[in-house]
Structure formats: C-alpha cells, structure tokens
Structure 1
Amino acid sequence: MKNRFWKCASVVLAAALAVPAPSWALGYTQTKYPIVLVHGLLGFDNIGPVEYFYGIPSSLRSGGATVYTTSVSAANSTEVRGEQLLFQVKQIIAATRLEKVNLIGHSHGGPTSRYVASVRPDLIASVSSVAGVNKGSKVADIALGLVPGVTSTLANAVASLLSFLSGSGGLPQNGRAALTSLSTAGTAAFNARHPAGLPTTACGEGAYVVNGVHYFSWSGGKSWTNALDALDPIFLLTGAAIGEKNDGLVASCKSHLGRTIRDDYGMNHADEVNQLIGIVNLFETSPVTVFRQQANRLQALGL
C-alpha cells in the first residue's frame, strides 16, 4: 500500500512539473539575458509618468526579468537609430557583465533591432518584432508623396518636442530619413542588406534562428479597438488606406519576422505597447500579458 502511494505521488508530481507555469508565477519572465525595449517612430522612453511601453517594464520585472528601455532618435533612418541602439546595447552588456541581450522592438524599433542583430549578432540572443515595419508601410509611402517637405518638417518638429520632453533632446532628428526608411522602397533596400529572419513568401514565416539569433514577431489586425482612445480615429483613417488587414499603420502580413506568434490580435498600432495609457481593447488579451508570454518563451529557450 505504501509503495502504491509513493508511486501515485510521483506520477502527480511529474504531471505538475510538466504543466507550464501560470503567468503570475514567480520567475515567469526571468530570462537569462536582459530584455531591451526599443521604441518606434516618434517614440520615447518615458515622458513623466507615461511610458512608451506603458506598464510593460514593471510587469516584466515583477516576474524576474531584467529590463532596459532604450532611447533612440524619435525620427531618423534605421541605420542611424541602429547605431544609437548598438551603443546602448554595449553599455548594458558592460553593466550586467552578460554577453548578450534580448531585443524587443515596436514599429520602427523592429528594423532598428534587426540592424543591430545583423551587424553584431554576437551581442544579441533574440529579436522580437512587435508590428515591425519589416516590409514597408503604405502610410509612409503616402506621407512621402504629400506636399514636399511638409510631412518631414512636421515629423522633425514632433520628434524634437518628444525628445525634449523625455530628456533625450540631444539626439538628431530627420523626419524625411525616417519616412524613407519606413517606405516600401526604403525597407526593400534595407532588407537587401539585412535579410535575417525575413519571410521568403508573401505572408509566411522567416528563419527562426540566423547566426545564433532567434527571431520572433507578433502584431495586431484592427485599427479601431476602443471608443475612449483618442488615437483610434487616426488609425481608422490611416488603416483604411492600406487596403489589407492591418493595425492602422502596418499591414499584418508585412510585419512577419522569424517565428510569427500571431498577426491578428485585436489591437491597433498603439495598443500593441499598451497605449494610450492602457486604454486598449477590453475583449482581447492584454498587451502586457503578450510581452510576459514572450519573456517566458525566451526563458524556455534558455535566452
């Protein structure tokens, strides 16, 4: 009888250990390498109490992750932003005495992260692209075609203001370079130089691992998600111009990179990073949860 009891107890224990830990479990987001968050166009680290990745860093840290939020030019070319990010990655590696980091980039932060992984794969454990502009944005194409100079001048002004408010006023801003990098033609040129993780089919997946770097992506597929969000009408307008499933700024299929987790979350381009200040789709998984799940996915891979 006693032997039978211990056999049953062993089976129950083994089954319990085989079940994935719940998202609230201690250590759920604790990765081997630091998580480094990279903002997109007209982005910032924080302005007062408002974070670009709203509530995400603290939630990741609560589960054991070491998290850094970087600040690069709000508007500039992918290469310029990439070099700025690379400099900060080296600083983080020096501070933590760990040889690599996990990059998670939103929007323009996707190709910005890809640039660093391309030129210094030895420093990068993974790149996770959140609604990354990996094959261009029709919205950028349209913006470049508007009254010459007006759109880029406006982008410069907004970027400079955001950088000043976030304490990063010394970073160079170049609205036209940013829009060119995000355009279909500009992205195609960038991809020819930095192709790692890109799908070879229209809406497929790319290589999961290239030069030791793991590639992931996810994105939303709705432009209007919450009537209380002041940004939703903008995304409804810009999303209508894209002509295929999108999050208001980036076509879902064109955001794919490496292993595609999902491209149809009920989120728009701001919801994906829990903006505007957490006003997101009430009937979809919380963006914070999605980031926590990705951290746990990295943990499972030993990253």
Structure 2
Amino acid sequence: MNLSSHNHGGLDVRDAPAVRPDLVVSVTTVGSPDEGADLADYLRRNVAPGGFTEGVLADFANSLGTVPGLLSGDSHPQDALKGLDALTRNGVQPGRGHRDDVNQMLGSTNLFESNPRPVFRSHANRMKNAGL
C-alpha cells in the first residue's frame, strides 16, 4: 500500500510501516504538523493545566468533535487535551517518509504557494516511476 494522508492523519499514518512493514510501500503526508503546531504550544504555555479555562476549552473542543459522529451515526469518544498534547512540539514524534506541503484553506489555494493537485500528481508519478 502507498499511504497518503492530510493534516493530523499524517501523524497517525506514520506508524503504519512499523506495524505492518510487509504491507506499506510508502507514506506521504500533506500539510501535517510534523514539527508540532504553534497554537498547541501557545495553549500549553498559557492555559493552566486543570484550570477553569482548560476545562472550558476542552469541553468546547470535545463537543465540536462529536458533531461529525452525530451526523454520521458513528460516534467515538473525544479527548481534546490528549489531541492538544499530541500536537505540541514535544508531543510530535520525528517523521518518516516523504512530506509535501500545500497552503490550502477551505478549498482555496494561495497564489504564491503550492497547488495541491500538482503535489499529488508529482507524488503519484514518483511512485509510478519507482515501480510502486
């Protein structure tokens, strides 16, 4: 398998080759916070652990996380604080594999940044040319 993932999924998929090296040929992450997210570091530095503000923010984020489950009928427990810790520079494990970035928000692309289509095409061609 050639695995491609975006955003936080890039952090999750990086462990697949270690678990099933016989099945994974390559891993590509696009727009993944491989070096941590500045917002996560900011929140961890400025919001007291166990305090009122952390509790309110966690409840709000956990509530937002349940919306896709309610809409799809497939609900999973949310833990915003574990997610936050996983996105800090200290929480992110060193990456493996190939990484491309695109500057994309709500489907639009920045005039001066990579367009996602050529990034994915380029990676697909690299894999094809390598016989993968």
TM-score normalised over the length of structure 1: 0.38
1:186 positional shift: 1.6
C-alpha separation in 1, matches of 2:117 and 2:73: 25
Which residue is equivalent to 1:279?
108
1:206-246 deviation digits (Å, cap 9, x = unpaired):
xxxxxxxxx200124xxxxxxxxxxxxxxxxxxxxxxxxxx
C-alpha separation in 1, matches of 2:118 and 2:73: 29
- Residue ranges of structure 1 left out of the alignment (5+ in a row): 1-100, 198-214, 221-266
Match 1:140 to one of 40, 56, 69: 40
C-alpha separation in 2, matches of 1:119 and 1:106: 20
Task: Report % sequence identity.
Answer: 35
Do 1:143 and 1:151's aligned partners in 2 also have CA atoms closer than 8 Å? no
C-alpha separation in 2, matches of 1:283 and 1:161: 34
C-alpha separation in 1, matches of 2:100 and 2:25: 18
User: Structure 1 pair 196/131, CA: closer, same or farther in 2 (3 Å)?
Assistant: closer
1:128-148 deviation digits (Å, cap 9, x = unpaired):
111222222221122334322
Q: Which fold has the larger relative contact order, with Cα–Cα distance below 8 Å and residues 6 or more apart in sequence? A: 2
Which residue is equivalent to 1:219?
101
Match 2:58 to one of 110, 135, 152: 152
SS at match of 1:123: coil
Query: Do structure 1's residue 162 and structure 2's residue 68 form an aligned pair?
Result: yes
Which residue is equivalent to 1:11?
none
Which residue identity does 2:121 align to in structure 1?
Answer: R
Which protein is bigger by CA-based radius of gyration? 1
SS at match of 2:17: helix
- Residue ranges of structure 2 left out of the alignment (5+ in a row): 48-52
1:126 positional shift: 0.7
TM-score normalised over the length of structure 2: 0.80
Which residue is equivalent to 1:257?
none
Which residue is equivalent to 2:128?
299
Which residue identity does 1:218 align to in structure 2?
Answer: D
1:107 positional shift: 1.8
1:115-168 deviation digits (Å, cap 9, x = unpaired):
222222222111111122222222112233432222222221111113333x16
Which residue identity does 1:103 align to in structure 2?
Answer: L
Do 2:7 and 2:30's aligned partners in 1 also have CA atoms closer than 8 Å? yes
**Regions of 4+ moved over 4 Å:** 282-285
Which residue is equivalent to 1:180?
85
SS at match of 1:176: helix
Which residue is equivalent to 2:50?
none
Which residue is equivalent to 1:79?
none
1:235-261 deviation digits (Å, cap 9, x = unpaired):
xxxxxxxxxxxxxxxxxxxxxxxxxxx
User: Structure 1 pair 287/218, CA: closer, same or farther in 2 (3 Å)?
Assistant: same
C-alpha separation in 1, matches of 2:125 and 2:57: 40
Question: How many residue pairs end up in the alignment?
Answer: 126
C-alpha separation in 1, matches of 2:16 and 2:76: 18
C-alpha separation in 1, matches of 2:61 and 2:118: 31
SS at match of 1:128: strand
